[in-house]
Structure 1
C-alpha cells in the first residue's frame, strides 16, 4: 500500500455540549445544539491524491450502475483528491487496530472496515478470493467510500478494483425519510402478513428504482398488486383455464389455417413482442434495473389480455369447424404466453410462478429458458405442450386486496 505520510495539521471538528460563547453552534446532528471546537492532531495519511489517475482509468470501464451515480463519481474525480486520514491517536481512540510499527496510533474507519471485505472473501488465498469479478451492492449514502476510497485501497495494494458497483437509492414512507422518531418505519413482517412474501417482493422489485428514491405507502402496494398480479396475470390464467371455456383442461392444438385474415397483423405483433421478451428482460436484469424487466413482462401480459378479449373465444361456435379451431388456437397462444410469463417471473415471485406453472402442467425440467422453446407450433414446429393436461386448480393466483375504512389493507 502507498507509504503513509505523517502530518501535524489535521484539523478535526469536535462537537461538545452547548456553552455560552459567541461561536455559532452546530444544529445538524439531530441531537440539539452542540458547540463546535476545532482541534489539531497528528495522523497517518493515505496518499489518495496520487491515485486519482488510476481511479479515472478504472472509471472508464463503466463499473458504476446506474449511470446517474457514475456521473456523480466522475464529477468528484474532476477535482484534485485530498489525502485521507487513516489513523487516530491511541490516547483518544483505544479500541482501534494498532498501526503496524506505531502502537501510539490506531487505524481509523473506513480503512479497516473496507479491508474487512478482503478478509471475508478469504484473502490472500486466490481460490477463495476471486476479487476481480466481484459486484458490490451499496446504498447511495456510502458511494464515496466505495467508489473512491475502496478502489484506491485495492489499487495501492496491487489488487484489482471491483468490477461492478450496484448503487441503490432509498425507500421513503409517505414522501418522508423513514425514522423511528417519526414512527413511519415500515414493518416487513407485517407487510408479509398483509401481502404475502411474493406480493411484497414483487412490489419492492417492480416499484423500486435504484436510480431514485421510491415511496412506500399501503395504498400504492394495494393498487399495484391488484392491477398486475390479481387482475392482469391472475385474471388471464383463471380465464383460459376455466372449465367453461376449456372443458378438456388442457393445452389445445394450434391451427395455422384458422387464423382470421383480420387478425393476422395483431397476431404478428403479439408474437413479435413475445419472442423478444426474454432478451429484453435479460437486458434490464444485466443493467440491474429489475423494475424495468418486470415492467416489460407486465406490458406483455396486458397485450395478451387485450388479444384474448378481442378474440372472445367464449363466443366462438363449437359446431363451426373453423371457429372451433381458432378458439383452440387462441387458447394455445394465451397458455403459451402464460407459460413464458411464469418462467420469467420465477426469480421475482417464485411461489406464485410455481403455482401458475403447476396449473399449466409444466414439468420441473421445462421451467427454464435454457433449451426451452415457446410458441413452437406457430412456426410449424413440434410442440410437446399441445394436448398437455393441466395440473390441479388451487383457486385464485393472487386474491385481490381490499382497503378497509382505516386505510389499512386486508386480503
Structure 2
C-alpha cells in the first residue's frame, strides 16, 4: 500500500511580532498542505494518506506570554491553539491529525527519541555559553548580534529583526551536530529533497554552524517544556521537542511508524531547523530522512511586510467573512508562488474571486443549465459532434484533452497557481465559445445538444481537476451537472468519459458577486 504523508510544520503559538492570532501566512501554509493532501487522495484514492498540522506550545516566549496574560502556560496555549484549530475548520482542511506538542503522546515520543540519541552516543553534558534568542528559540553567533539603543538603553539584539537576545551560561546537554554536518550537506546536494530548487542554496547556507548544539536548558530557567529523561533539572530544547511532532503523528514509538514523510512543508524562515537540525537528529537516531521538504516564501500586504505597528496584519478570519473560505483558499493558491514572497491585497482578492469563481465558472454553469436553453434538463451523451460545433470548439477540446496531464505535473510540483492559470484559460475559452454560439437562439436540436455537451464537459473536467483547490465549489458544479460521486475520480477528467444523465438540483449560485 502506498502511504502519502503530508506533514506541515506546527504553527507556533508563541508571541511573535505579529501577536498570538493567526495571520494570512498561517492560512496559506495550511491550504498549501491541504491542496497537496487532497491531490494525493485524488491521485491515489486507494492509498492511505496522512496530513498533520498543529501547534508548538513549549518554550521561553510562550511561558513569558502566559505570565503577561496572567494565566498558566497550558491555559494560554489552550486559548491560542483553539484559534488555529477554528481557522483550519473554517478553511475546510482535510487534515487527519491536529497535534499539540503539549499532548501526552508527544511528550512520550520526545523522551523516547532523546533516549535513542543518547543511547547512540550523540548526547553529552557540557558547560555552554552564548547568546540566546527568545523570539527564535535558538542560540545565535556573535556575528548575528549587534548593540542598539532601545528606549534609551543599550541592548544586544539580533541583526535580522532587532529583537533582544540574552547571554546564557550554564551546564546543558549537547548534541553532536558537528558530526552530521557533512552528511546533511551531501543529502541536500544529491537527494533532490529541497523544493522549489531555488531554496537549495538557502538550505546549504544554513549549515554554517560548525559547533555542537545545546539541546537543553536548566529547568530553573525554563520550566515550561518536556523534562530530560532521568534528569528533571533540565528541559529539552524547544526545537528538538517541536520537530519530533512529525514522528509522533506517524506512530512513533509504539509501533513501526509511517516513515519517512512524503513531504514536509515549511516557511523559508525555519529552513535551518528543518534542513540541518532535523536531518541531523534523524541520522543520529538511525532513521530515514524526509523524501521532500517544500519551502515557501512569506506574505506581504500590498507589497509591504506585515507589522502590528503598521496595522496591516491580515486576519484570515476577517478575510473569510469578506470573501468566504472557498474564495480565500482560491486567492491564496492562485496568488501564492512558493518561490517568492507573495502579496495580499483586499482589492485584488475581490477582483480575482469575481473574475474567476463568479464569472468564469459560476456564470457559465448557471447560463448553460437554465431551462430556457436545456428544456429537458439532461446532460447529453454525444457520440459525434455537429459539424459547426466541432469546428468552433476545436481549440477548446484540445485544451481539455491536455488539461489532466498538465495539471498532474503542476500538482505534483505543488505549483497550484499554474494549475489554476491553466484551468481558468480553459474556462475562458469555454465561455468564449458559448457566448459566440448563442445557444439561447439555437433552433437546431442536434447543434444545441453538441454545444451543451462540450460546455458541460468543460465545466465537469475543470471541476474534477479543481477539487484539491476548491473542493466545495467543485462539488457544487458537479452536483448541478448530475455527476455521481464515483464519477469524480482523476481518470474521469477526459472528454467522453462520463455517460451523461439528468442534471442535478438547481441551488442557485455558489458564490454571489462580492461588492466593494
Instruction: Give the TM-score normalised by structure 2.
Output: 0.65
Distance between the aligned counterparts of 1:91 and 1:234, measured in 2? Answer: 60
Name the counterpart of 2:3: none
Structure-2 residue corresponding to 1:236: 364
- Which residue of 207, 211, 215 corresponds with 1:86? 215
Aligned to 2:426: 300
Distance in 1, Cα, partners of 2:160 & 2:280 = 32
Quote the Cα distance in structure 1 between the aligned partners of 2:163 and 2:182.
Answer: 41
Report the alpha carbon displacement of residue 106 of structure 1 after superposing the two structures with TM.
4.1
What residue in structure 2 maps to residue 407 of structure 1?
none
* Aligned twin of 1:350: 471
Contact 1:284/1:292 (8 A) holds in 2: yes
1:148 maps to which of 267, 276, 281: 276
SS in 1 for 2:279: helix
Contact 1:131 1:160 in 2 (8 A): yes
Unaligned runs of 5+ in 1: 319-323, 378-382, 404-411
Closer/same/farther in 2, CA of residues 304 and 71 from structure 1, 3 Å limit: farther
> Relative to 1, partners in 2 of residues 1:331 and 1:130: Cα closer, same or farther, differing over 3 Å?
same
Q: 1:138, CA displacement in angstroms?
A: 1.9
CA RMSD of aligned residues (A): 3.4
Do 1:140 and 1:167's aligned partners in 2 also have CA atoms closer than 8 Å?
yes
The aligned counterpart of 1:136 is 264
Change (3 A) 1:313 1:211: same
**Equivalence for 1:107:** 236
Return the alpha-carbon distance in structure 2 between the equivalents of residues 244 and 268 of structure 1. 26
> 1:150, CA displacement in angstroms?
0.5
**Higher RCO, 1 or 2 (CA under 8 Å, sep at least 6)?**
2
Check conservation: 2:400, 2:495, Cα contact below 8 A.
no
Partner of 2:459: 338
* Rg comparison, structure with higher value: 1
Q: Name which of 414, 422, 425 aligns with 1:288.
A: 414
- 1:368 deviates by 2.1
Distance 1:182 1:28, change over 3 A: farther
Please say which of residues 101-110 and 338-347 is displaced more in the overlay: 101-110
Is the 8 Å Cα contact of residues 404 and 493 (structure 2) preserved in structure 1? Answer: no
- Partner of residue 400, structure 1: 513
Note if 1:376 corresponds to 2:496.
yes
- 1:71 pairs, out of 201, 204, 218, with 201
Quote the offset at 1:224 in angstroms: 0.1
Q: Which moved further from structure 2: 249-258 or 201-210? A: 249-258
Cα deviations by residue, 1:25-53 (Å, 9 ceiling, x for unpaired): 4466999997x875654544322222123
With the length of structure 1 as denominator, give the TM-score of the two structures: 0.80
Q: Aligned partners of 1:162, 1:172: CA distance in 2, in Å? A: 29
* Structure-2 change in CA distance of 1:62 and 1:9 (3 Å): same
Deviates more, 1:134-143 or 1:230-239: 134-143
Report the more deviating stretch, 2-11 or 196-205. Answer: 2-11
